[in-house]
Structure 1
Amino acid sequence: MNNVRLVDVAAHAGVSMKTVSNVVHAYPHIRPATRAKVQAAIDELGYRPHSAARRLATGRTGMLSLAIPVLDIPYFAELARCLADEAARRDYRVLIQQTIAGEKAERAALDVSEAGLVDGILAHPVSLSADEIEQAVARQPIVLLGEGDVPSRFDRVMIDNVKAAREAVDLLVRLGRRRIAFLGVERAPLTPPTVDRIAGYRQGLEEAGLEIDDDLLIPLDGFGSGDALRAIERTLAAGTRFDGIVCRHDGVALGALRALRAAKVRVPDDVALVGWDDDTAGEFLETSLTTVRPDKQMIATTAIDLLIERIEGYDGPGRHVIVPHTIEIRESAPLPASDRGFRDS
């Protein structure tokens, strides 16, 4: 049984690995002539993608590893489901590891001990630096997810957090808000997503000609809804005024909504609020949540595409892909009637 790889088919047909992958997985919108050329190369070379017999010949397991910080934050749970579904379409299964954003667990997820257990790794590191990732990673296909400093030779998939935060501020400014807070800032060293989102928040204020007031950078003791509730209670008790909030993620936004309601602060009349991640529950709250919506399906599709190309033989430079986001506009920060055509992209 020969050991023909996807990269071999691509070279034989004179097309990209992505094109071959699209033909193999029956993606639409491929020109008939291109599809025929790729299929002819597949038939001539005898390429058989990801079958059990092929795994016996190549030593592959048909398993991928996914290392994410936590499972009980809806964003990561929903992203894991998208990744598992997309992998299953390619005849792969996904093993999920929870790292709790700890250096030791993140390093273990990328360590050489994974070699032979899985064919490739998807990881969302939070604590490891680029140098530590470089040292920890085995000679094995890997795609990194999310923000942070990563080695240039590795593939990464993310959204533009700076741009998204800037646009969230812009939406609140369009609603006439002038005292816009950011909830929240970790007391420990800032995680890469927080760094990017604060940078975008500051840019948005500067572009609107608004004052940057450090009192409006609201600290959090943790990432739970209860932590956000207590943070807003402390901020209100201190007499800090605000009429808009950009929340670090939707779980934080839920705690903020609860605290504001208890304090008889009306949302969005008194305070307009934007969440982040578009958790499924946000649409069905009593005051539905306006939120930054990363395209989770596109993140998953892109990450699996890149990883399988690595598994199939691609050994070129790292590819850093930024996928789209939108702002889902709902009741917590609705647009005025005069501006209903606005939409983030």
Structure 2
Amino acid sequence: MVDVAERAGVSLKTVSNVVNDYVHVQPALRARVQQAIDELGYRPNLTARRLATGRTGMVALAMPEIDHPYFSEMSSHLADIAAEAGYRVIIEQTLSDPTAEQAVLRDREAGLVDGVIFQPTRIATLDIARLHDDQPLVLLGEVEAPVTTDHVMIDNVAAAADGVAHLLALGREKVAFVGLVSGDITSTNRRRLLGYQEALLDAHLPLRPELVLECQGFAAADAEASVAGALERGVRFDAILCRDDRFAVGALRALRRAGLSVPGDVAVMGWDDTVVTGYTTPTLSSIAPDKRELATRAWQLLEERMSGYHGPGRHLVVGHGVTVRESAP
């Protein structure tokens, strides 16, 4: 920075203001400093910056699957918001592995980032409380969060009930849920199944265990196999609530291969309102978490933690809607 200041004929403070993109720098002065930076090949040293300011200017984002449409879109929102605040984002994929999730809190990001936004799926609440130190942390998703940790989520029970209510309003009475996943110990499916069941009971409809379909995994092909298997067993339904849009894509394929029309014979409701919903045939109605608001509120809480807030955890519930398309019009 001394070399840049000498080359540009300015103070160290001015160079710092340009490097940190402060707005109150005259355009001509900024251009002169930037030219000196380019000529000298100056790059900020993150280690030195942390020693001087206590910050790295970087945050970590830990997600279960970076190729899942929902997590991909959430990551994009968070990266955009962080960039607007002058931060860079390190993205880590945990693949819902408990050891990898514990490492996010225990040691993997120690000293590298100023804070962590984390969507866990399998780590226990007590482990979060035990492993979480003073590193600023905000949790996303359905995991139970300790009272000391910030957490942003939607109300999955209410969202599932809204999805079922929409299907019932179409005159459907045999609504299937796709589906429970073998070996899944997370609370996501439990809450969505609860909302599905509550909506049926509120409508004075019986709970039919055979309409709660089980899948062997989380891929679209697993949902396709589950729906196809149910039809082969003689199970009949006139609507489906799916745990996510990938499952809905699999359900659409199974119904088409069975010669059933959507929505004529079976109405289909996805979940997450991801980009895939506009490119299926028919286009897919979907429960729509406010992903931008989830990202915005999570970032606001993290910034407050990084700025010195040490109070109890804030637990925020963000809104959702139902986006209506051709599969359940």
Query: Which residue in 2 is equivalent to 1:158?
Result: 153
Native 8 Å contact 1:112 1:137 kept in 2? no
1:140 paired residue among 135, 142, 163: 135
Q: Which runs of 5+ in 1 are unaligned?
A: 1-23, 26-51, 335-345
1:175 paired residue among 167, 170, 175: 170
CA distance in structure 1 between the partners assigned to 2:269 and 2:108 by the alignment: 42
CA deviation after TM superposition for structure 1 residue 301, in Å: 0.7
CA distance in structure 1 between the partners assigned to 2:114 and 2:286 by the alignment: 35
CA deviation after TM superposition for structure 1 residue 192, in Å: 1.4
CA deviation after TM superposition for structure 1 residue 57, in Å: 2.8
1:278 paired residue among 263, 273, 293: 273
CA distance in structure 1 between the partners assigned to 2:199 and 2:49 by the alignment: 52
Residue deviations 1:208-245, cap 9 Å, x none? 11110111110010111111111111000010111110
Query: Which residue in 2 is equivalent to 1:8?
Result: none
- How many corresponding residue pairs? 285
2:311 paired residue among 311, 316, 334: 316
Residue deviations 1:25-73, cap 9 Å, x none? 9xxxxxxxxxxxxxxxxxxxxxxxxxx9975532211110111101111
Native 8 Å contact 2:58 2:113 kept in 1? yes
Query: Which residue in 1 is equivalent to 2:81?
Result: 86
Give TM-score scaled by structure 2 length.
0.84
CA distance in structure 1 between the partners assigned to 2:93 and 2:69 by the alignment: 14
Is 1:187 aligned to residue 182 of structure 2?
A: yes
Native 8 Å contact 1:250 1:291 kept in 2? yes
2:324 paired residue among 329, 338, 341: 329
CA distance in structure 2 between the partners assigned to 1:196 and 1:58 by the alignment: 43
Amino acid at match of 2:129: E
Native 8 Å contact 1:112 1:138 kept in 2? no
CA distance in structure 2 between the partners assigned to 1:145 and 1:284 by the alignment: 27
CA deviation after TM superposition for structure 1 residue 284, in Å: 2.5
Query: Which residue in 2 is equivalent to 1:35?
Result: none
Alpha carbons of 1:70 and 1:321: their partners in 2 closer, same or farther (altered >3 Å)? same
CA deviation after TM superposition for structure 1 residue 123, in Å: 0.5
CA distance in structure 1 between the partners assigned to 2:184 and 2:60 by the alignment: 27
Q: Which runs of 5+ in 2 are unaligned?
A: 1-21, 24-45
Is 1:196 aligned to residue 191 of structure 2?
A: yes
Native 8 Å contact 1:68 1:123 kept in 2? yes
| Structure 1 outlier segments of 4+, above 6 Å | none
Residue deviations 1:244-296, cap 9 Å, x none? 10000000000100110111111001100100001102112220100011111
Amino acid at match of 1:332: S
Pairwise CA RMSD of aligned residues? 1.6
Native 8 Å contact 2:58 2:114 kept in 1? yes
Is 1:248 aligned to residue 248 of structure 2?
A: no
SS at 1:265 equivalent: coil
SS at 1:167 equivalent: helix
Alpha carbons of 1:325 and 1:104: their partners in 2 closer, same or farther (altered >3 Å)? same
1:103 paired residue among 98, 101, 107: 98
Give TM-score scaled by structure 1 length.
0.80
SS at 1:241 equivalent: coil
